[in-house]
Structure 1
Amino acid sequence: MTYDHVAGRRFLAISGGVGGAKLALGLYHALPPEDLCIIANIGDDFEHLGLYICPDFDTLLYTLSGVANPVQGWGRRDETWTFMQVLRQIGDDAWFLLGDGDLALHVERTRRLHRGEGLSAIMADITRRMGVGCTLLPASDAPLRTFLDTSEGRLDFQTYFVRERCIPVATGIAFESIGAVQPHPEILAGLSDPALAGIILCPSNPFLSIDPILAVPGLRDALRQSPAPVIAVSPVIAGKAVKGPTAKLMAELGLEVSAASVARHYADFVDLFVLDETDAALRHDIDVPCVTAQTLMTTLEDRVALARHVCQLAQAMGRNG
């Protein structure tokens, strides 16, 4: 299936995993690959069984390369599970699923990290080998980790999200760096590029997927100062999260579960907020300029249509006129 590309300049997208990857895939089909750069969340990254795992980056990689599991949205299509079956027989640390094909990626990434290569360089090479033509970058080469303060104490993201299945009540979120965390230089260069037509926040969890990216020192300021307009697509439709624990988390943190809350969360740097058509009445409760669109993406055509619409909005409103 092919689509006519949006004519114009470069775009930069900021995304978490499954939810954001839907729009990222639409952008990948709507734009020439050389005109698209996608920044992936690193707050979910962790070491498990001696392997360095990057769940959100890998979900984007699998989605854009066409090998993602279409039902789950994460992991690989037609995966096999021999490794996990044996691990359950001989060990007790099998709560995080690693398919056999997925395991190969983690082994190769870890091997090269131990050899001294940088994360972004490793993943750029693997991205190319998997046939993805756009630029896909981690927010930083240095680790930054998401932790949640909960009714069960402070939990790292994967423990909260996977092992505990988001059941503990969340009372706060923290981001902890390990070493000198800085944005990848290519990200900062892209954000300041006069040829950048737009910056798109994909509909990922604002608190667990987008905020870790914004927590990388300098990135939020770079977004504010960029010559390109910043457009965010709401991950909340009619008071419900499209994917994941967003609604539960917002309620536990004392926030109204609505697209308006998300818009307020981004208000200091977003120029335009895209609401779903069902939330049109919320426009009066949001200080950020808003437009409505069909944001629920159930098919590839939905993803491409929304991507084209958002790109066209960015081109029409460019900060430099």
Structure 2
Amino acid sequence: MSRAPRVVVLAGGVGGSRFVLGLRSALRSRGVADTASALTVVVNTGDDLWLSGVRLQPDVDSITYALAGVNDAERGWGRAGDTERVNHELQAWGSGWPWFTLGDLDLGTHLARTGWLREGLTPTEVLERMSHRWELGARLLPMTDAEVDTVVTVRDEDGIRSMHFQEWWTRHRATLEPVSFDNPGVTGVEPAPGVAEVIADADVVLLAPSNPVVSIGPILAVPGVRAALRSTAAPVVGVSPIIGGRVVRGMADVCLAAIGVETSAAAVAAHYGARSGDGLLDSWLIAEEDALAADEVAGLGIHSVVTPLWMTDAARSAALAEAALATAAV
């Protein structure tokens, strides 16, 4: 391919951030100077919420900060070196959630976003404006411009009740038994402008090793996204978020159990399904620790590729991204 490949990745969370960084590095290693024109990231916005009067977009910000090189890599969210003076003051006023920390620099992002939204900009336009501050080397698109925050229905001693995903994830650390994950109103929304078009025009579409239920799931729930993936001429390649039968980070195993999916590379592949059937995947990258599952994945009608999946540093993330691109022969 003489021109730079057009790469689209669906992503969210820490795994998505690391994978996107690896993709940018892999493209640069191939000599692609203008990676911003080659790489588009469709970001999960199901984690979004209103808190203390400002609009938060956790996955959008995590990927933006990671690409800008200002993220707190140790925590996996927020800005490096951030302080929490405003957060303490908000808590003194009884505002917000005492268990949900907002860093001062992070609040600056939320305030800027909220101001632009109040002025009438769409989330897509806000994200484009945000991307001008740093040389991100990628184009970021929200999955939709509508607000379709993820709601978790849980079962505990008080019975069945619902809460925002962030309360379940951050406050309760996913210890409350989830009954279902929903994005109220999602069936009536549209993909953000450009999402369907970049998928249709892509040379490869990648599903990042993000949580299949609460990171990739909400993106796929937006009407039109699944159809775009099934109809694109580009190969669709997924990367397993499971290594050796365990999640790498977070509580994806709890989420998978709630929807009846086993925590295994083959089970998640089956959850996405083969595009030769009524699913989404042409190929699926699995870890060396899961090599014995390769035949099971192939039996689903999905080409399986065994490769190292650990993204413990920049070089390994780039190597994984290159393996994904090579699988698609781009």
**Which residue type is aligned with residue 279 of structure 1?**
D
Aligned residues: 309
Q: Does 1:28 align with 2:24?
A: yes
Residues 73-109 of structure 1, C-alpha deviations (whole Å, 9 max, x = no match): 2100111111122223332632211100000000000
Contact 1:273–1:290 (CA<8 Å) still a contact in 2? yes
- Using the alignment, how far apart are the partners of 1:26 and 1:201 within structure 2? 14
| 1:248 match | 254
2:120 equivalent among 110, 113, 116: 116
Residues 237-278 of structure 1, C-alpha deviations (whole Å, 9 max, x = no match): 111100111112223444321111110011101100000011
Shift of 1:201: 0.5
**Which residue type is aligned with residue 280 of structure 1?**
A
| 1:258 match | 264
| 1:142 match | 146
- Using the alignment, how far apart are the partners of 1:213 and 1:198 within structure 2? 17
1:107 equivalent among 108, 111, 116: 111
Contact 2:47–2:150 (CA<8 Å) still a contact in 1? yes
Q: Does 1:189 align with 2:197?
A: yes
**Which residue type is aligned with residue 172 of structure 1?**
S
1:265-280 alignment to 2 at 5 Å? 265-267=271-273, 268-280=279-291
- Using the alignment, how far apart are the partners of 1:299 and 1:87 within structure 2? 36
- Using the alignment, how far apart are the partners of 2:68 and 2:284 within structure 1? 29
| 1:171 match | 179
1:203 equivalent among 198, 205, 209: 209
Shift of 1:156: 1.7
SS in 1 for 2:213: helix
Q: 163-172 or 74-83: which moved more?
A: 163-172
Q: Does 1:74 align with 2:77?
A: yes
TM-score in terms of structure 1 length: 0.92
Q: 35-44 or 22-31: which moved more?
A: 22-31
Q: Does 1:295 align with 2:312?
A: no
Contact 2:124–2:193 (CA<8 Å) still a contact in 1? no
TM-score in terms of structure 2 length: 0.90
1:304-319 alignment to 2 at 5 Å? 304-315=318-329
- Using the alignment, how far apart are the partners of 1:254 and 1:216 within structure 2? 21
1:97 equivalent among 81, 94, 101: 101
Q: Does 1:284 align with 2:295?
A: yes
- Using the alignment, how far apart are the partners of 1:179 and 1:122 within structure 2? 23
Residues 181-230 of structure 1, C-alpha deviations (whole Å, 9 max, x = no match): 2112311111111xx22001000000010010001111001100001000
Q: Does 1:158 align with 2:154?
A: no
| 1:37 match | 40
Contact 1:75–1:99 (CA<8 Å) still a contact in 2? yes
**Which residue type is aligned with residue 283 of structure 1?**
A
- Using the alignment, how far apart are the partners of 1:133 and 1:234 within structure 2? 24
Contact 2:13–2:211 (CA<8 Å) still a contact in 1? no
Shift of 1:178: 6.8
SS in 1 for 2:8: strand
Structure 2: stretches of 5+ with no match in the other structure: 274-278
Contact 2:310–2:316 (CA<8 Å) still a contact in 1? yes
- Using the alignment, how far apart are the partners of 1:116 and 1:79 within structure 2? 29
**Which residue type is aligned with residue 50 of structure 1?**
G
Shift of 1:285: 1.9
> Percent of aligned positions with the same letter in both sequences?
35
Contact 2:154–2:180 (CA<8 Å) still a contact in 1? yes
Contact 2:10–2:41 (CA<8 Å) still a contact in 1? yes
